[in-house]
Amino acid sequence: MFVKRFCVLFIACLGIGCAVRAQTPDPDFYVFLCFGQSNMEGQGRIEPRDTIAEPRFRLLSAVDCPSLGRVAGQWYTAVPPLCRCNTGLSPADYFGRTMVERLPRNIRVGVVHVSVAGCKIELFDKDNYTSQVASSAGWMNQMIQAYGGNPYGKLVELARMAQQTGVIKGILMHQGESNTNDTTWPGKVKGVYDNLIKDLGLDAAKVPLLAGEVVHADQGGVCASMNNIIATLPKTIPTAHVISSAGCADAPDNLHFSAEGYRELGKRYAAKMLSLLGYPPLEKK
Protein backbone atom coordinates (compact mmCIF):
# COMPACT_ATOMS: atom_id res chain seq x y z
CA MET A 1 0.00 0.00 0.00
CA PHE A 2 2.85 2.36 0.90
CA VAL A 3 4.60 1.65 -2.40
CA LYS A 4 1.38 2.26 -4.35
CA ARG A 5 0.77 5.60 -2.63
CA PHE A 6 4.39 6.62 -3.17
CA CYS A 7 4.13 5.84 -6.88
CA VAL A 8 0.91 7.81 -7.23
CA LEU A 9 2.44 10.77 -5.38
CA PHE A 10 5.63 10.57 -7.47
CA ILE A 11 3.67 10.55 -10.72
CA ALA A 12 1.54 13.48 -9.55
CA CYS A 13 4.65 15.47 -8.67
CA LEU A 14 6.11 14.73 -12.07
CA GLY A 15 2.92 16.05 -13.66
CA ILE A 16 3.06 19.24 -11.62
CA GLY A 17 6.70 19.68 -12.51
CA CYS A 18 5.97 19.33 -16.23
CA ALA A 19 3.15 21.87 -15.96
CA VAL A 20 5.44 24.37 -14.25
CA ARG A 21 8.11 23.88 -16.90
CA ALA A 22 5.56 24.27 -19.70
CA GLN A 23 4.56 27.69 -18.31
CA THR A 24 8.10 28.94 -17.79
CA PRO A 25 8.84 31.88 -20.14
CA ASP A 26 11.55 31.23 -22.70
CA PRO A 27 14.43 33.65 -21.93
CA ASP A 28 15.40 33.49 -25.60
CA PHE A 29 12.01 34.78 -26.74
CA TYR A 30 12.29 38.59 -26.69
CA VAL A 31 8.92 40.38 -26.63
CA PHE A 32 8.35 44.05 -27.50
CA LEU A 33 5.19 46.09 -26.95
CA CYS A 34 4.23 48.48 -29.77
CA PHE A 35 1.63 51.22 -29.39
CA GLY A 36 0.70 54.64 -30.71
CA GLN A 37 -1.34 56.20 -33.48
CA SER A 38 -1.40 55.87 -37.27
CA ASN A 39 2.32 55.85 -37.95
CA MET A 40 2.80 52.97 -35.52
CA GLU A 41 -0.37 51.33 -36.81
CA GLY A 42 1.22 51.41 -40.26
CA GLN A 43 0.04 53.16 -43.39
CA GLY A 44 2.66 51.93 -45.83
CA ARG A 45 1.82 49.93 -48.95
CA ILE A 46 2.75 46.28 -48.36
CA GLU A 47 4.97 44.89 -51.12
CA PRO A 48 5.87 41.26 -51.89
CA ARG A 49 9.31 41.64 -50.29
CA ASP A 50 7.63 42.60 -47.01
CA THR A 51 5.69 39.34 -46.85
CA ILE A 52 8.62 36.92 -46.96
CA ALA A 53 8.11 35.00 -43.73
CA GLU A 54 10.79 34.90 -41.05
CA PRO A 55 9.75 32.13 -38.60
CA ARG A 56 11.75 33.64 -35.72
CA PHE A 57 9.72 36.87 -35.91
CA ARG A 58 6.33 36.38 -34.24
CA LEU A 59 3.12 38.36 -33.70
CA LEU A 60 0.61 37.95 -30.88
CA SER A 61 -2.58 38.88 -32.71
CA ALA A 62 -4.61 41.57 -30.94
CA VAL A 63 -7.80 40.99 -32.95
CA ASP A 64 -9.56 38.24 -34.87
CA CYS A 65 -8.72 38.38 -38.58
CA PRO A 66 -10.55 35.54 -40.37
CA SER A 67 -9.24 36.71 -43.76
CA LEU A 68 -5.69 36.29 -42.45
CA GLY A 69 -6.39 33.11 -40.52
CA ARG A 70 -5.66 34.82 -37.20
CA VAL A 71 -7.38 34.54 -33.83
CA ALA A 72 -6.85 37.11 -31.10
CA GLY A 73 -4.46 35.95 -28.40
CA GLN A 74 -2.59 33.46 -30.61
CA TRP A 75 0.98 33.65 -31.91
CA TYR A 76 1.69 33.72 -35.66
CA THR A 77 4.62 34.33 -37.95
CA ALA A 78 4.80 38.13 -38.20
CA VAL A 79 3.79 39.03 -41.75
CA PRO A 80 2.11 42.41 -42.39
CA PRO A 81 -0.38 43.73 -41.55
CA LEU A 82 0.66 43.43 -37.90
CA CYS A 83 -1.72 45.85 -36.19
CA ARG A 84 -5.20 44.95 -37.40
CA CYS A 85 -6.69 43.15 -40.39
CA ASN A 86 -6.48 46.00 -42.91
CA THR A 87 -3.62 48.19 -41.72
CA GLY A 88 -0.37 48.65 -43.65
CA LEU A 89 3.35 48.32 -43.26
CA SER A 90 4.55 49.71 -39.93
CA PRO A 91 7.85 50.42 -38.15
CA ALA A 92 7.32 47.21 -36.17
CA ASP A 93 7.74 45.14 -39.35
CA TYR A 94 11.33 46.05 -40.06
CA PHE A 95 12.12 46.43 -36.40
CA GLY A 96 11.40 42.74 -35.94
CA ARG A 97 12.99 41.63 -39.20
CA THR A 98 16.17 43.53 -38.42
CA MET A 99 16.29 42.20 -34.88
CA VAL A 100 16.14 38.53 -35.89
CA GLU A 101 18.64 39.18 -38.67
CA ARG A 102 21.17 40.48 -36.15
CA LEU A 103 20.43 38.41 -33.05
CA PRO A 104 21.83 34.89 -32.47
CA ARG A 105 19.83 32.13 -34.18
CA ASN A 106 18.53 30.78 -30.87
CA ILE A 107 16.68 34.02 -30.11
CA ARG A 108 13.17 34.72 -31.36
CA VAL A 109 11.42 38.10 -31.40
CA GLY A 110 7.74 38.69 -30.76
CA VAL A 111 5.63 41.85 -30.94
CA VAL A 112 2.38 42.87 -29.29
CA HIS A 113 0.86 45.63 -31.43
CA VAL A 114 -2.01 47.90 -30.31
CA SER A 115 -2.44 51.26 -32.07
CA VAL A 116 -5.27 53.60 -33.00
CA ALA A 117 -5.01 56.07 -35.88
CA GLY A 118 -5.58 59.69 -34.92
CA CYS A 119 -5.56 59.11 -31.18
CA LYS A 120 -4.04 61.36 -28.56
CA ILE A 121 -1.70 59.88 -25.95
CA GLU A 122 -4.56 60.31 -23.48
CA LEU A 123 -6.32 57.31 -25.05
CA PHE A 124 -3.68 55.13 -23.36
CA ASP A 125 -4.23 56.76 -19.96
CA LYS A 126 -5.67 53.86 -17.98
CA ASP A 127 -7.56 56.13 -15.58
CA ASN A 128 -8.94 58.75 -17.97
CA TYR A 129 -9.22 57.08 -21.38
CA THR A 130 -13.03 57.01 -21.31
CA SER A 131 -13.30 60.72 -22.09
CA GLN A 132 -11.23 60.14 -25.24
CA VAL A 133 -13.46 57.24 -26.24
CA ALA A 134 -16.61 59.30 -25.69
CA SER A 135 -15.36 62.17 -27.84
CA SER A 136 -13.83 60.06 -30.62
CA ALA A 137 -15.12 60.24 -34.18
CA GLY A 138 -17.03 57.26 -35.51
CA TRP A 139 -14.16 55.97 -37.65
CA MET A 140 -11.78 56.10 -34.69
CA ASN A 141 -14.30 54.56 -32.32
CA GLN A 142 -14.52 51.49 -34.57
CA MET A 143 -10.79 50.95 -34.05
CA ILE A 144 -11.12 51.48 -30.32
CA GLN A 145 -13.95 48.96 -30.11
CA ALA A 146 -11.79 46.42 -31.93
CA TYR A 147 -9.75 46.48 -28.69
CA GLY A 148 -12.78 46.05 -26.47
CA GLY A 149 -13.16 49.80 -26.00
CA ASN A 150 -9.90 50.07 -24.03
CA PRO A 151 -6.64 49.98 -26.04
CA TYR A 152 -4.45 50.26 -22.93
CA GLY A 153 -6.33 47.42 -21.28
CA LYS A 154 -5.96 45.29 -24.41
CA LEU A 155 -2.23 46.03 -24.56
CA VAL A 156 -1.78 44.91 -20.94
CA GLU A 157 -3.96 41.83 -21.45
CA LEU A 158 -1.90 40.71 -24.44
CA ALA A 159 1.38 41.60 -22.73
CA ARG A 160 0.48 39.33 -19.83
CA MET A 161 -0.23 36.53 -22.28
CA ALA A 162 3.14 37.16 -23.90
CA GLN A 163 4.87 36.98 -20.52
CA GLN A 164 3.75 33.37 -20.23
CA THR A 165 5.98 32.40 -23.14
CA GLY A 166 8.59 35.14 -23.45
CA VAL A 167 10.32 38.06 -21.74
CA ILE A 168 9.40 41.70 -22.40
CA LYS A 169 12.57 43.53 -23.41
CA GLY A 170 11.31 46.90 -24.55
CA ILE A 171 8.42 49.19 -25.49
CA LEU A 172 8.14 50.90 -28.89
CA MET A 173 5.95 53.96 -29.28
CA HIS A 174 5.14 56.21 -32.21
CA GLN A 175 2.66 58.88 -31.21
CA GLY A 176 2.57 62.64 -31.08
CA GLU A 177 0.92 64.01 -34.21
CA SER A 178 -2.41 64.45 -32.40
CA ASN A 179 -0.63 66.12 -29.48
CA THR A 180 1.43 68.53 -31.58
CA ASN A 181 2.73 71.49 -29.53
CA ASP A 182 1.44 69.94 -26.29
CA THR A 183 4.30 70.65 -23.88
CA THR A 184 2.72 68.39 -21.25
CA TRP A 185 3.03 65.39 -23.60
CA PRO A 186 6.25 63.99 -22.03
CA GLY A 187 4.56 63.80 -18.64
CA LYS A 188 1.54 62.08 -20.16
CA VAL A 189 3.80 59.53 -21.86
CA LYS A 190 5.56 58.95 -18.55
CA GLY A 191 2.19 58.14 -16.98
CA VAL A 192 1.50 55.49 -19.62
CA TYR A 193 5.01 54.04 -19.38
CA ASP A 194 4.97 53.95 -15.58
CA ASN A 195 1.60 52.20 -15.59
CA LEU A 196 2.85 49.57 -18.05
CA ILE A 197 5.92 48.93 -15.91
CA LYS A 198 3.79 48.60 -12.77
CA ASP A 199 0.91 46.61 -14.25
CA LEU A 200 3.25 44.10 -15.88
CA GLY A 201 5.68 43.81 -12.98
CA LEU A 202 8.62 45.01 -15.07
CA ASP A 203 11.93 46.59 -14.13
CA ALA A 204 12.16 49.93 -15.94
CA ALA A 205 15.95 49.69 -16.04
CA LYS A 206 15.61 46.56 -18.17
CA VAL A 207 12.67 47.70 -20.34
CA PRO A 208 13.50 50.91 -22.25
CA LEU A 209 10.98 53.04 -24.10
CA LEU A 210 11.86 53.81 -27.73
CA ALA A 211 9.91 56.78 -29.10
CA GLY A 212 10.04 57.68 -32.78
CA GLU A 213 9.99 61.18 -34.18
CA VAL A 214 7.10 62.23 -36.41
CA VAL A 215 7.75 63.06 -40.09
CA HIS A 216 10.79 65.31 -40.00
CA ALA A 217 11.02 68.91 -41.20
CA ASP A 218 13.41 67.77 -43.94
CA GLN A 219 10.50 65.90 -45.50
CA GLY A 220 8.05 68.77 -45.01
CA GLY A 221 6.34 67.13 -42.05
CA VAL A 222 3.17 68.98 -41.10
CA CYS A 223 3.66 68.06 -37.44
CA ALA A 224 7.46 68.37 -37.43
CA SER A 225 7.39 70.95 -34.62
CA MET A 226 6.38 68.09 -32.30
CA ASN A 227 9.87 66.65 -32.64
CA ASN A 228 11.19 69.43 -30.41
CA ILE A 229 8.92 68.15 -27.64
CA ILE A 230 9.66 64.49 -28.36
CA ALA A 231 13.36 65.31 -28.00
CA THR A 232 12.78 66.22 -24.34
CA LEU A 233 11.27 62.84 -23.42
CA PRO A 234 14.50 61.37 -21.96
CA LYS A 235 14.53 64.24 -19.45
CA THR A 236 11.20 62.99 -18.12
CA ILE A 237 11.80 59.25 -18.59
CA PRO A 238 15.47 58.34 -18.00
CA THR A 239 15.04 55.01 -19.83
CA ALA A 240 13.52 56.65 -22.94
CA HIS A 241 15.38 56.95 -26.24
CA VAL A 242 14.30 59.05 -29.23
CA ILE A 243 14.48 57.46 -32.70
CA SER A 244 15.27 60.01 -35.41
CA SER A 245 13.03 60.23 -38.47
CA ALA A 246 15.43 62.50 -40.38
CA GLY A 247 15.66 61.34 -43.96
CA CYS A 248 12.83 58.81 -43.64
CA ALA A 249 10.74 59.21 -46.79
CA ASP A 250 7.16 60.28 -46.26
CA ALA A 251 3.83 60.00 -48.06
CA PRO A 252 2.25 62.82 -50.11
CA ASP A 253 0.23 63.97 -47.08
CA ASN A 254 3.47 64.87 -45.25
CA LEU A 255 1.94 63.25 -42.16
CA HIS A 256 2.62 59.56 -42.70
CA PHE A 257 5.75 57.80 -43.86
CA SER A 258 5.98 55.93 -47.13
CA ALA A 259 6.66 52.20 -47.13
CA GLU A 260 10.36 52.94 -47.59
CA GLY A 261 10.21 55.41 -44.72
CA TYR A 262 8.65 52.79 -42.43
CA ARG A 263 11.33 50.27 -43.36
CA GLU A 264 14.08 52.72 -42.50
CA LEU A 265 12.42 53.88 -39.29
CA GLY A 266 11.90 50.28 -38.18
CA LYS A 267 15.58 49.54 -38.76
CA ARG A 268 16.48 52.55 -36.62
CA TYR A 269 14.31 51.31 -33.76
CA ALA A 270 16.13 47.97 -34.08
CA ALA A 271 19.57 49.58 -34.19
CA LYS A 272 18.92 51.37 -30.91
CA MET A 273 17.43 48.28 -29.25
CA LEU A 274 20.32 46.12 -30.37
CA SER A 275 22.80 48.61 -28.93
CA LEU A 276 20.91 48.63 -25.63
CA LEU A 277 21.11 44.83 -25.60
CA GLY A 278 24.86 45.05 -26.09
CA TYR A 279 25.15 44.20 -29.78
CA PRO A 280 27.42 46.10 -32.20
CA PRO A 281 25.98 48.91 -34.36
CA LEU A 282 24.33 48.08 -37.67
CA GLU A 283 26.58 48.51 -40.67
CA LYS A 284 25.48 51.33 -42.95
CA LYS A 285 24.60 50.20 -46.46
Instruction: Tell me which residues are annotated as active site.
Output: 38, 253, 256
| Spatial strand order in the sheet of 240-243 | 75-77, 57-60, 108-115, 29-36, 167-174, 209-212, 240-243
Phi, psi angles (nearest 5°) of residue 242: -95, 130
Contact 47, 184 (CB under 8 A): no
Contact 88, 81 (CB under 8 A): yes
Contact 116, 143 (CB under 8 A): yes
Residue 144 CB partners (closer than 8 Å, separation 6+):
116, 119, 123, 133, 136, 150, 151
Which of 246, 251, 271 shows the shortest CA–CA distance to 94? 271
